[in-house]
Amino acid sequence: MMRRHAALLMRIAILAGLIVLLEVACRTGVINPLTILPPSDMFAAMIDQVGSGELNASIATTFSTIFLAFALAVGCGTVTGALIHRSTRLRDVVDPLLASYYSVPTFIFYPLLVALLGIGKAPLVVLGVLSAAPAVVISTLAGLDGVAPVLMKLARVHRLTPARTLRWIVLPAALPHLFTGFKLALSYALIGVIAGEFILSGTGLGYAISFAYQSFDNRAMYGAMLFVLLVAVTANGILYVWEGRLARRRSRG
Amino acid sequence: MRAEVTGEAHVSLNEVVRRYDGPPAVQALGPIDLDIRRGEFFSIVGPSGCGKSTLLDAVSGLVRPTSGIAHFEGKELSGEVPDGVGVVFQEDSSMPWLTVRQNVAFGLRTSGLPKTEVSDRVDHAVNFMGLSQFSDHYPAQLSGGMRQRVCIARTLVLRPRLILLDEPFGALDQQTRLLMGDELLRLWRETSATVLLITHALDEAVMLSDRVGVMSARPGRFIDMVETGWPRDRDSRVIADPAFGALTGRLWTSLREESLKTMGRAA
């Protein structure tokens, strides 16, 4: 308990130190403020932009796209993982593909996706799902592999129906792994969607950053960047805390 | 109804054989003929891989014999665990996401009993196994022996008339094992259930049982049957009884040859 808190304080101190360092470097001219805005200015820019409402449409588009991609990745990934788990033959075929999946830069398919699905939400959602779903599949497989055979035997001793076995035994037993998958899926969906907007889109936060970059609007660019960063970190932080709560129950202490 | 069955065998196996289709086809067990009396404490010892666990699975109804018939309370077992049978496994089968109390109550989730009845039975089982101080703990916070007690308590709430134990103390140290043996004897006396215990520890078998069956190397058959003659009211202190050494010695004499066969096979 003490150690966890100490580590947390240390982490915050390091981050705060780096931010202060950057601030000082910018203010004293060690770093050209035209290249990087001082963090305090970035923050002010973010408040301005988000407060003014000019980003509202982008925020709504981007986060609804991310959420859609995340939800689809979790749904499809879990079901696909469960199906693969059921068939040993399919598993033998698919395992190496899954293991090497993330060596493929999915982004290169973006032009193809646009050609197939047009410009708009659809190719971005697909891109997000393509980045996120395999992580869910992999962690679902790991989770199902981890269900102790003796617990499946227990289900038979208690004459549980398949649905109850799933709900009472398999899902809770696999939950820690599933959760890791969901966490990764959220990050990957976010990266996939925002990067997609960046490359080839007319809406969204990724596009807003890219547009500001191309029009030399540093304030707008850094403001939007900081906003994306904070949202990503917060979302992940919430999952992290939740996961920690689940995990702590199962381990000592 | 109960009176009619008394005197008859509680569990009865006739020419039970279990074969696994190959290749290569393996006869894992049998033929086995065995009657276990109602209320008896019966143990099985045998060399590793002789089919002890397969026999237990056949008695619980988890597997159907390849040939032969298994009966529990006069009814034929048919690939499903019948009501009244509780099983405790060798591996820790407590559920790490549930507290001790919830683990124990798991046994009654599908029972359809009223809430108060469920909670009474859970309280009783938790107290009986000495877990009341830990009822809100999670299994990870308990020792191996206590976790196995949780699993026994989870079986106990079902009020089983037949309790099957597959090397339940296999992972525990010797002292804990003896003390758990005492708990098991107390449980057996108070529930008047029939107990079938599988163990590889000869002393454990002798100390706990009314009767011990010795199995041969695969395919497992009974090669010796030893009546211990202990009083019903006994505990782990019988290991100091002169008869204890003689009985354990007899088991080993029967088992030694078979164990050597298994070793030879493995080497």
Task: Convert the pLDDT of each residue in B219-240 to its tens digit.
Answer: 888 888 888 888 888 888 888 8
Q: Is A152 on the interface with B (CB under 8 A)?
A: no
pLDDT at B3 over 50: no
- The residue-averaged pLDDT of B128-132 equals 85
Interface probe for B, chosen from A147, A151, A158 (most Cβ of B below 10 Å), is A158
Q: Is B244 on the interface with A (CB under 8 A)?
A: no
More confident residue, B112 or A227: A227
A3 falls within a domain: no
Mean pLDDT taken over chain A? 88
Q: Is A245 on the interface with B (CB under 8 A)?
A: no
Residue in A154, A168, A252 closest to B140 by CB: A252
pLDDT band of residue B255 (cuts 50, 70, 90) is confident
- The residue-averaged pLDDT of B137-148 equals 87
pLDDT at A76 over 70: yes
Closest-CA residue in chain B for A153?
B62
> Is A159–B107 a contact, with Cβ atoms under 8 angstroms apart?
no
What is the CATH classification number for the domain harbouring A203?
A: 1.10.3720.10
Least confident residue range of A39-43, A138-142, A151-155, B69-73: B69-73
Q: Which pLDDT belongs to residue B4? A: 38
A106 falls within a domain: yes
For residue A250, the chain B residues in CB contact (below 8 A) are 96-97, 138, 140
Mean pLDDT taken over chain B? 83
Closest-CA residue in chain B for A170?
B95
A105 falls within a domain: yes
Q: Which pLDDT belongs to residue A141? A: 92
Question: What residue ranges of chain B are covered by domains with CATH 3.40.50.300?
Answer: 1-84+160-231
d(CA A60, CA A66): 10
Residue in B89, B106, B140 closest to A250 by CB: B140
pLDDT band of residue B5 (cuts 50, 70, 90) is very low
Q: Which pLDDT belongs to residue A140? A: 93
CA distance A253 to chain B (A): 7
- State which residues form the domain around A171: 57-216
Check: CB of residue B222 under 8 Å from CB of residue B249: no
d(CA B230, CA A153): 34
List Cβ neighbours of B100 (8 Å cut-off, separation of 6 or more): B126, B131, B134, B135, B136, B137, B138, B139, B142, B150
Check: CB of residue B50 under 8 Å from CB of residue A141: no
d(CA A157, CA A179): 28
CA distance A186 to chain B (A): 24
pLDDT at B194 over 60: yes
DSSP B169: T
| B1-84+160-231: CATH topology | Rossmann fold (3.40.50)
Closest residue by Cα to residue B104 from B149, B143, B67, B64: B149
List Cβ neighbours of B149 (8 Å cut-off, separation of 6 or more): B129, B130, B131, B180, B183
pLDDT band of residue A1 (cuts 50, 70, 90) is low
Q: Is B110 on the interface with A (CB under 8 A)?
A: yes
What is the domain count for chain A? 1
Q: pLDDT digit string (tens) for A5-41? A: 888 899 999 999 999 999 999 889 888 878 888 899 9
pLDDT at A56 over 70: yes
- Residue where the block lists tokens 């259930």: B193
- The residue-averaged pLDDT of A205-220 equals 88
> Is B141–A253 a contact, with Cβ atoms under 8 angstroms apart?
yes
- The residue-averaged pLDDT of A129-157 equals 91
Q: Which pLDDT belongs to residue B6? A: 47
Closest-CA residue in chain A for B79?
A156
Total length of chain B:
267
Does the pTM surpass 0.95? The reply is no
Q: Please give the ipTM for the structure prediction.
A: 0.81
Question: Which two three-digit tokens encode residue A122?
Answer: 């659809």
